């Protein structure tokens, strides 16, 4: 039996039989006709496009990032002033001066909403396009929209994982949470790197061979296993066994292939480039994401946590926003200089925003009472940044009212964003998934492509 030290979800590796014993509920998926139809409809221009999602777990304030409200009362406008950008009318928070220099390279959606302040409901909406979960029922009900896309496209180049999460796939403390593939099958879960890309001794744990194994022995064992599988096919025949066969083959490809090992070796980058991104976990995660899409991965997610600022909002934002500013600026400009920006869509978003009105630091009561002002949960209006991937730069799509409480023009929902990402990747949004019970489920059940961006 082939084993790797860690599986794609960051847990201890298990054998094929162990996975099979999880039960039939593990597998649903895309029907073969849906996959073939989706691939046939993909435009040639989309065959090389990829996505890098910078996930701001906890929910960043739209007022204090991409939708400042300087004319609102101070308790709404917040602490910082807006600054102009190279795009007239696209003002940003003063803590994002590097963003301001390249505003013509990205566009902003300012009117996205799903109307929930529950972390889990909001995260599920943003990452799957569906509701149905809450803080009381946290388990994912639908697959991550990135997993849907990669289940159709596969990697852009052979030998690379199609979906990757740096350093892990996690939403609101759940791992892989709403980044999981669910009933599509575990082989479509993001490959998790583990570790800290900023560490001097960073290694991708998931690529380690079990003790005593060489690449040659792995292939020998794989061939032996395939012969044994032929003998027991009558017992294991079915979608679960097929899913596990693909999963194990992916594991073999990853731990023995030179392309993937080189792509994950961030130490190959020169010091100047690493300094440009910043030596933080966020900056180095984004740099590693760039290396992966350059090598052929299709959908890479970077987890940037800590945005749940019920209190000490000022201190947290003054720590986080300059770091985000450097990371986003470096990623977009680096992709552009390498000729990769048109083939790489960069997304910056979280599960929701923060309340337009600042609290007094104690309105949540224990344990939220900390004595310093903050902003609470808000899903009625939020902002998303998009750059590259053929998206038009310098656009502002939608707006919020004077206080930033609700969309005023062009209200948009998560499905509109997902339609747009699928268009960039060349994935047919009309594909149908099959859930655990065999029921057909549309990949995206609402919305349309955001025409202003295409």
Domain CATH for 165: 3.40.720
- What total number of domains does the chain contain? 1
Could you give the maximum distance between any two Cα atoms of the chain, in Å? 73
**Partner residues linked to 92 by β-bridges:** 83
**Of 448, 412, 419, whose CA–CA distance to 113 is shortest?**
412
Average confidence score pLDDT of the chain: 84
Q: pLDDT at position 218, please?
A: 40
E runs forming strands in 273-381: 299-305, 344-349, 353-354, 377-378
Q: Considering only residues 3 and 440, tell me which one the structure prediction assigns the higher pLDDT.
A: 440
How far apart are alpha carbons 17 and 6 in whole angstroms?
A: 16
H-assigned helices in 136-208? 145-153
Taking only the tens place, the pLDDT of each residue in 80-138 is: 999 999 999 999 999 999 999 999 999 999 999 999 999 999 999 999 999 999 999 99
Boundaries of domain holding 103: 16-212+238-251+258-453
Q: pLDDT at position 205, please?
A: 77
User: What is the rounded average pLDDT of the residues 51-74?
Assistant: 97
User: What is the rounded average pLDDT of the residues 38-47?
Assistant: 54
What are the Cα distances from residue 25, in Å, to 19, 21, 437? Answer: 12, 10, 8
In a domain, 1, yes or no: no
In a domain, 67, yes or no: yes
In a domain, 246, yes or no: yes
Give the three-class secondary structure for 146: helix
**Of 425, 353, 423, 436, whose CA–CA distance to 143 is shortest?**
436
**211: pLDDT strictly greater than 70:** no
User: What is the rounded average pLDDT of the residues 384-398?
Assistant: 98
In a domain, 160, yes or no: yes
Taking only the tens place, the pLDDT of each residue in 307-365 is: 999 999 999 999 999 999 999 999 999 999 999 999 999 999 999 999 999 998 765 54
In a domain, 85, yes or no: yes
H-assigned helices in 88-236? 97-101, 119-128, 145-153, 215-231, 233-236
Give the three-class secondary structure for 272: helix
In a domain, 10, yes or no: no
Q: Considering only residues 394 and 242, tell me which one the structure prediction assigns the higher pLDDT.
A: 394
Taking only the tens place, the pLDDT of each residue in 135-186 is: 999 999 999 999 999 999 999 998 899 999 999 999 999 999 999 999 999 9
In a domain, 145, yes or no: yes
In a domain, 9, yes or no: no
């Amino acid at each position: 039996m082939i084993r790797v030290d860690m599986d794609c979800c960051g847990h201890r590796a298990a054998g094929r039989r162990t996975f099979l014993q999880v039960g039939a509920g593990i597998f649903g998926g895309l029907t073969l006709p849906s996959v073939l139809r989706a691939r046939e409809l993909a435009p040639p221009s989309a065959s090389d496009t990829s996505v890098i999602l910078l996930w701001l777990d906890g929910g960043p304030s739209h007022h204090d990032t991409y939708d400042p409200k300087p004319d609102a009362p101070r308790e709404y406008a917040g602490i910082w002033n807006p600054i102009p950008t190279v795009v007239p009318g696209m003002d940003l928070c003063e803590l994002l001066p590097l963003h301001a220099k390249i505003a013509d390279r990205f566009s902003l959606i300012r009117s996205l909403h799903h109307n929930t302040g529950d972390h889990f409901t909001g995260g599920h909406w943003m990452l799957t396009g569906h509701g149905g979960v809450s803080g009381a029922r946290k388990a994912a009900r639908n697959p991550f929209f990135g997993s849907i896309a990669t289940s159709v496209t596969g990697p852009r180049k052979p030998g690379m994982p199609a979906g990757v999460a740096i350093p892990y796939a996690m939403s609101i403390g759940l791992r892989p949470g709403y980044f999981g593939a669910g009933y599509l099958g575990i082989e479509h879960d993001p490959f998790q790197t583990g570790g800290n890309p900023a560490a001097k001794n960073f290694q991708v744990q998931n690529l380690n061979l079990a003790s005593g194994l060489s690449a040659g022995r792995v292939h020998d064992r794989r061939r032996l296993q395939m012969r044994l599988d032929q003998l027991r096919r009558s017992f294991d025949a079915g979608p679960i066994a097929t899913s596990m066969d693909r999963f194990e083959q992916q594991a073999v490809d990853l731990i023995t292939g030179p392309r993937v090992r080189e792509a994950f070796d961030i130490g190959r980058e020169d010091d100047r480039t690493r300094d440009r991104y910043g030596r933080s976990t966020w900056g180095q995660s984004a740099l590693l994401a760039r290396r992966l899409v350059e090598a052929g991965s299709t959908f890479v997610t970077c987890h940037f946590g800590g945005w749940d600022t019920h209190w000490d909002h000022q201190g947290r934002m003054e720590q986080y926003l300059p770091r985000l500013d450097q990371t986003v600026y470096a990623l977009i400009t680096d992709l552009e200089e390498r000729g990769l920006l048109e083939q790489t869509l960069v997304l910056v978003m979280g599960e929701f925003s923060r309340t337009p009105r600042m609290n007094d630091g104690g309105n949540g009561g224990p344990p939220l009472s900390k004595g310093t002002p903050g902003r609470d949960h808000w899903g009625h209006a939020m902002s998303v940044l998009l750059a590259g991937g053929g998206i038009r730069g310098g656009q502002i799509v939608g707006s919020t009212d004077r206080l930033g409480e609700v969309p005023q023009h062009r209200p948009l929902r998560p499905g509109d964003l997902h339609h747009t990402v699928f268009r960039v990747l060349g994935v047919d949004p009309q594909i149908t998934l099959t859930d655990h019970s065999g029921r057909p489920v549309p990949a995206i059940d609402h919305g349309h492509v955001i025409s202003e961006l295409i």
